[in-house]
Amino acid sequence: MEGNIFLQISALLALTVSIAFFVRLLKQPLIVAYIIAGIVAGPLFFNLLHGGKELYEVFAQFGVILLLFIIGLNLNFSHLKSIGKVSFITGMGQIIFTVIIGTLILLALHMPLVTALYLAIAITFSSTIIIMKLLSDKKETETIYGKYTIGLMLVQDVVAVVILVAIGFLRYEGALMDSLGILIFKIAIIGALIVAAAKYLLPKLLDQVSYSSELLFIFTIAWCFGVSSLVFLSGFSIEMGAIAAGLSLGASPYQPEIASRIKPLRDFFLVIFFVVLGGEMAFASTSAIWLPGIILSLFILIGNPIILFLLFRSLKFTRRNSFLAGVTAAQVSEFGFVILFTGEQMGHLSGTELPVFTIVALLTIFFSSYLIMYSERVYNFLLPFFALFGKDKYLQENQVPAIYDAWIVGYHRIGRRVCDALSEKKVPFAVVDFDPSAIKSLRRQKIPSFFGDIADIEFVQDLPLVNSKLVLITIPSTDDQIVLINHLRNAKSTALIIANAEQHANMHILYQAGADYVMMPHMVGGDWIADIIKTKEWIPETFDELKADQRKQDRTLGLGKQIA
């Protein structure tokens, strides 16, 4: 049996890798390859999973536990607080509308109420992993829509955790009032133990084990499974324990190292998890799963972006940012699998829900990946349609058509030094930035500033850039810089354009687009530190002066605590 299982896993991994190569050529997330590998390895084709179903299900359970542990580890409540009520309103609004509409759709397809509710809740959540990966690839995690989309994902993660906890409560049997009292008592005891351990015990233990990366890895695994087992033995679900274990380590200074160590192990078991899910699809159920699967997929791909677009518009976001945020969330999440997996284990579901959701996951992840990658082109294609509704009335405020000799795009980076130089020369200038903290700092200094994203062509068209003498761009995104350069050159502007590139390949692209000069920050930084080494004494006082100057600059932006 052991040799048989070994051969099965070897064949399964070889099949998965082969499919993954083709999936990557299509620029799709690897989760698509895992599910397809499960379908091919399942009863529909090669039936590689026979004889070891129980073992594969244990592996799948490990994948779920590690996934939830890392999600708990990465829940960033401080980030959620910093982006205010917008993410909360859009996140909760999207969840409520999607659950209600999804339930009604499934009831219209003659599904039982419990099945409809579980599936409607499962399709509500978008994939944080996929969205973060694609936004990072596009270098748009710091854009206006990127920041609030990430905040929206955090709200969804918190709600999903609450739902999993609620499902775990249903596992507890007994009289309602007695159960409720015992549950509250157990939650209080377990919560107090975990909080006390996180505050007093874990910091000392982590300080000791962190000297060895291997020991830190083993300790983290032991903590994850130990807390999960404690919570399970107390009458709750293992999933709840995994989330609690992650949250308890989330505030640790070793959190980034812990997450990076655990992710490869999580990824291995998640491969098995998704393969098992794909393998559960059989011929007998295809007729029952494809119709609801396709209908729900269309709802996620079309209805979800519309819901989010309207929510962001109601909060006075521009059409472009509302559209891009909506399109970004047009797929389902790994959380949906976990919720349905847990519901099936508890006997709440009939068994067809996971195959239906698998169809939805495959279709929405596949198509939404292209929508996200080419969202700008899709938006520009739809501009004539949006123009039918007139000019965007929610363009950013303070867009006064004044004439400035120089424009700085991006203040937090190189821009603040350039602003100091322009102020000394008494040159009229203005700054464009999409970071609210930068805008606040500029307004305190009474520097003309405009809040917005230069990738939004409607926003750029309303800025009086054409008649300026100099436009200096410090933002890292090459694509966004090209949008601005093309706008200026198409408008026959004679302004000198200084762009910014982090790589030589991007430098040549920006020159071809029409930039007069392209800065290379790492080269400038190298020249600066080389000059310091050549002209300054190598003594602590030299670098104390440089650090003091650095702190002074950050205090002007309200960031002094970070460097202190």
pLDDT tens digits for range 208-249: 777 777 788 888 888 888 888 887 777 666 767 787 788 787
Asked if residue 144 is part of any domain, the answer here is yes
Looking at the fold, whether 147 and 278 belong to one and the same domain comes out as: yes
- For residues 58 and 158, state if they share a domain: yes
What pLDDT does residue 48 have?
66
Residue 438 and residue 471 share a domain: yes
pLDDT of residue 172 exceeding 70, the answer is no
Domain presence at residue 177: no
Whether residue 69 contacts residue 224, with contact meaning beta carbons closer than 8 Å, is answered with: yes
Q: For residue 189, tell me if it sits in a domain.
A: no
Out of 65-69, 223-227, 381-385, pick the least confident.
65-69
Task: State the total domains in the chain.
Answer: 2
* Residue 468 belongs to domain spanning: 406-519
Residue 555 confidence class, pLDDT cut points 50, 70, 90: low
pLDDT 10s digits, 125-155 = 887 767 766 776 666 766 778 778 877 877 8
Residue 177 has a pLDDT of 44
Q: Return left, alpha or beta for 501; rule: phi > 0 is left, psi -120 to 50 is alpha, else beta.
A: beta
Mean pLDDT over 165-185 rounds to 58
Residue 428 has pLDDT above 60, yes or no: yes
**289/372 same-domain check:** yes
CATH label of the domain that carries residue 475: 3.40.50.720
pLDDT band (50, 70, 90) for residue 397: very low
The H-or-E segment that residue 550 falls in is helix 540-556
* Residues contacting residue 443 through CB under 8 Å, at least 6 positions apart: 449
Share of the chain above pLDDT 90, in %: 2
Q: What is the pLDDT of residues 281-325, one digit of tens each?
A: 554 456 677 888 889 999 999 988 999 999 988 888 888 888 888
Residue 37 sits in the same domain as residue 151 = yes
The CATH number of residue 71's host domain is 1.20.1530.20
Is residue 124 domain-shared with residue 91, that is, in the same domain?
Answer: yes
pLDDT at residue 81, as a whole number? 62
Give the whole-angstrom CA distance, residue 310 versus residue 516. 40
Q: Which residue did the predictor score with more confidence, 214 or 517?
A: 517
Burial class (CB within 10 angstroms; exposed 0-12, middle 13-18, buried 19+) of 399: middle
Domain co-membership, 374 together with 413: no
390 assigned to some structural domain: no
- For residue 161, the model assigns a pLDDT of 72
Report the predicted TM-score, pTM, of the whole model to 2 decimal places.
Answer: 0.59
Tokens of 485: 């350069």
Residue 185 lies in a domain: no
**Which of 312, 346, 381 is the last residue before a domain boundary?**
381
Is residue 253 predicted with pLDDT exceeding 70? no
The answer to whether residues 430 and 515 belong to one domain is yes
97, 152, 90, 73: which is closest to 333 by C-alpha?
152
- Higher-confidence residue: 266 or 385? 385
Are 350 and 451 contained in the same domain?
no
- Tell me, yes or no, whether 436 and 348 share the same domain: no
Statement to judge: residues 41 and 112 lie in one domain: yes
Residue with token string 């955790």: 161
Residue 166 pLDDT class (50, 70, 90 cuts): confident
Residue 58: inside a domain: yes
Name the least confident of 72-86, 356-370, 433-447. Answer: 72-86
* Angle made by CA atoms 65, 11, 359, in degrees to the nearest 5: 55
